[in-house]
Amino acid sequence: MRENLILKVTSVFLAVLLWFYVANEKNNFVQFYKKEVKVTPVITGKPAPGYQIVRTKITPPKIQVSGWIPSGVLQDTVFTEEININGARKSKKVTVSLIREDGVYYSTDRVEVYIEIDKKK
Protein backbone atom coordinates (compact mmCIF):
# COMPACT_ATOMS: atom_id res chain seq x y z
CA MET A 1 0.00 0.00 0.00
CA ARG A 2 2.85 2.33 0.85
CA GLU A 3 4.56 1.64 -2.44
CA ASN A 4 4.71 4.77 -4.54
CA LEU A 5 2.50 6.62 -2.05
CA ILE A 6 4.20 9.91 -2.84
CA LEU A 7 3.58 9.39 -6.56
CA LYS A 8 -0.09 8.55 -5.97
CA VAL A 9 -0.67 11.61 -3.76
CA THR A 10 1.16 13.82 -6.24
CA SER A 11 -0.96 12.43 -9.13
CA VAL A 12 -4.22 13.09 -7.28
CA PHE A 13 -3.06 16.60 -6.34
CA LEU A 14 -2.11 17.39 -9.96
CA ALA A 15 -5.41 15.96 -11.26
CA VAL A 16 -7.45 18.12 -8.87
CA LEU A 17 -5.34 21.18 -9.68
CA LEU A 18 -5.75 20.59 -13.42
CA TRP A 19 -9.50 20.07 -13.03
CA PHE A 20 -9.89 23.45 -11.27
CA TYR A 21 -7.81 25.14 -13.96
CA VAL A 22 -9.84 23.67 -16.83
CA ALA A 23 -13.19 24.30 -15.11
CA ASN A 24 -12.39 28.01 -14.68
CA GLU A 25 -10.87 28.54 -18.14
CA LYS A 26 -12.82 30.95 -20.35
CA ASN A 27 -13.76 29.95 -23.88
CA ASN A 28 -12.06 32.46 -26.17
CA PHE A 29 -13.07 30.68 -29.37
CA VAL A 30 -15.31 32.64 -31.72
CA GLN A 31 -18.15 30.50 -32.97
CA PHE A 32 -19.26 30.17 -36.58
CA TYR A 33 -22.91 31.18 -36.99
CA LYS A 34 -25.48 30.36 -39.68
CA LYS A 35 -28.79 32.00 -40.34
CA GLU A 36 -31.47 31.95 -43.06
CA VAL A 37 -32.40 35.46 -44.21
CA LYS A 38 -34.86 37.08 -46.61
CA VAL A 39 -33.66 38.53 -49.93
CA THR A 40 -35.10 42.00 -50.68
CA PRO A 41 -34.76 43.58 -54.13
CA VAL A 42 -33.74 47.25 -54.35
CA ILE A 43 -35.93 48.74 -57.09
CA THR A 44 -35.23 52.27 -58.30
CA GLY A 45 -37.16 54.47 -60.70
CA LYS A 46 -40.83 54.37 -61.64
CA PRO A 47 -42.65 52.55 -64.41
CA ALA A 48 -43.97 54.60 -67.35
CA PRO A 49 -47.01 56.80 -66.60
CA GLY A 50 -50.14 54.65 -66.40
CA TYR A 51 -48.17 51.55 -65.37
CA GLN A 52 -47.48 50.03 -61.95
CA ILE A 53 -45.55 47.24 -60.28
CA VAL A 54 -48.01 44.41 -59.69
CA ARG A 55 -45.67 42.06 -57.83
CA THR A 56 -42.07 40.96 -57.43
CA LYS A 57 -40.77 37.42 -57.19
CA ILE A 58 -37.27 36.59 -55.98
CA THR A 59 -35.61 33.24 -56.65
CA PRO A 60 -34.44 32.11 -54.15
CA PRO A 61 -36.56 34.14 -51.69
CA LYS A 62 -34.24 33.24 -48.78
CA ILE A 63 -30.56 32.41 -48.55
CA GLN A 64 -28.22 31.03 -45.92
CA VAL A 65 -25.71 33.50 -44.46
CA SER A 66 -22.88 32.54 -42.15
CA GLY A 67 -19.87 34.05 -40.51
CA TRP A 68 -17.71 34.43 -37.43
CA ILE A 69 -20.13 37.08 -36.15
CA PRO A 70 -22.79 36.35 -33.47
CA SER A 71 -26.09 35.44 -35.17
CA GLY A 72 -27.81 38.38 -33.47
CA VAL A 73 -25.48 40.67 -35.38
CA LEU A 74 -26.06 38.92 -38.71
CA GLN A 75 -28.64 40.85 -40.68
CA ASP A 76 -32.22 39.59 -41.17
CA THR A 77 -32.38 40.80 -44.78
CA VAL A 78 -29.93 40.76 -47.67
CA PHE A 79 -30.40 43.43 -50.34
CA THR A 80 -29.75 43.14 -54.06
CA GLU A 81 -27.93 45.64 -56.20
CA GLU A 82 -30.22 48.33 -57.64
CA ILE A 83 -32.68 47.36 -60.36
CA ASN A 84 -33.74 50.36 -62.45
CA ILE A 85 -37.28 50.17 -63.86
CA ASN A 86 -37.52 53.82 -64.88
CA GLY A 87 -40.06 54.15 -67.74
CA ALA A 88 -40.73 50.39 -67.95
CA ARG A 89 -43.93 49.31 -69.73
CA LYS A 90 -43.47 45.55 -69.48
CA SER A 91 -42.41 42.99 -66.91
CA LYS A 92 -38.72 42.49 -66.33
CA LYS A 93 -36.66 39.46 -65.27
CA VAL A 94 -33.08 40.16 -64.17
CA THR A 95 -30.28 38.34 -62.41
CA VAL A 96 -28.59 40.60 -59.89
CA SER A 97 -25.79 40.35 -57.36
CA LEU A 98 -26.33 40.61 -53.63
CA ILE A 99 -24.81 43.46 -51.64
CA ARG A 100 -22.12 41.81 -49.58
CA GLU A 101 -21.06 42.51 -46.03
CA ASP A 102 -17.51 41.96 -44.78
CA GLY A 103 -17.00 38.74 -42.86
CA VAL A 104 -20.32 37.25 -43.95
CA TYR A 105 -20.59 34.36 -46.40
CA TYR A 106 -23.67 33.83 -48.60
CA SER A 107 -24.99 30.54 -49.97
CA THR A 108 -25.32 32.24 -53.38
CA ASP A 109 -23.89 35.36 -54.99
CA ARG A 110 -26.77 36.16 -57.33
CA VAL A 111 -30.56 35.93 -57.36
CA GLU A 112 -33.19 36.19 -60.06
CA VAL A 113 -35.80 38.94 -59.67
CA TYR A 114 -39.02 39.02 -61.68
CA ILE A 115 -40.82 42.38 -61.59
CA GLU A 116 -44.35 42.21 -63.00
CA ILE A 117 -45.44 45.52 -64.50
CA ASP A 118 -48.95 46.11 -65.86
CA LYS A 119 -51.28 48.97 -66.74
CA LYS A 120 -53.00 50.71 -63.83
CA LYS A 121 -56.65 49.81 -63.45
Q: Average pLDDT, whole number, for the chain?
A: 89
Per-residue pLDDT tens over the stretch 16-75:
999 988 888 776 666 778 889 999 999 999 999 999 999 999 999 999 998 876 655 667
Strand partners, 71: none
Give the three-class secondary structure for 22. Answer: helix
Domains of the chain, by residue range, sit at: 33-119
Quote the CA–CA distance of 89 and 110 in Å, as a whole number.
25
What are the φ and ψ backbone dihedral angles of 49, each rounded to 5 degrees? Answer: -55, 135
Give the three-class secondary structure for 102. Answer: coil
Quote the CA–CA distance of 42 and 48 in Å, as a whole number.
18
CATH superfamily of 33-119: YbbR-like domain (2.170.120.40)
> Exposed (0-12), middle (13-18) or buried (19+): which is 53, by Cβ within 10 Å?
middle
More confident residue, 88 or 24: 88
Query: Is 109's pLDDT higher than 90?
Result: yes
What is residue 20's predicted lDDT score, i.e. its pLDDT? Answer: 85
What percent of the chain is predicted at pLDDT more than 70?
A: 90
pTM given for the model? 0.69
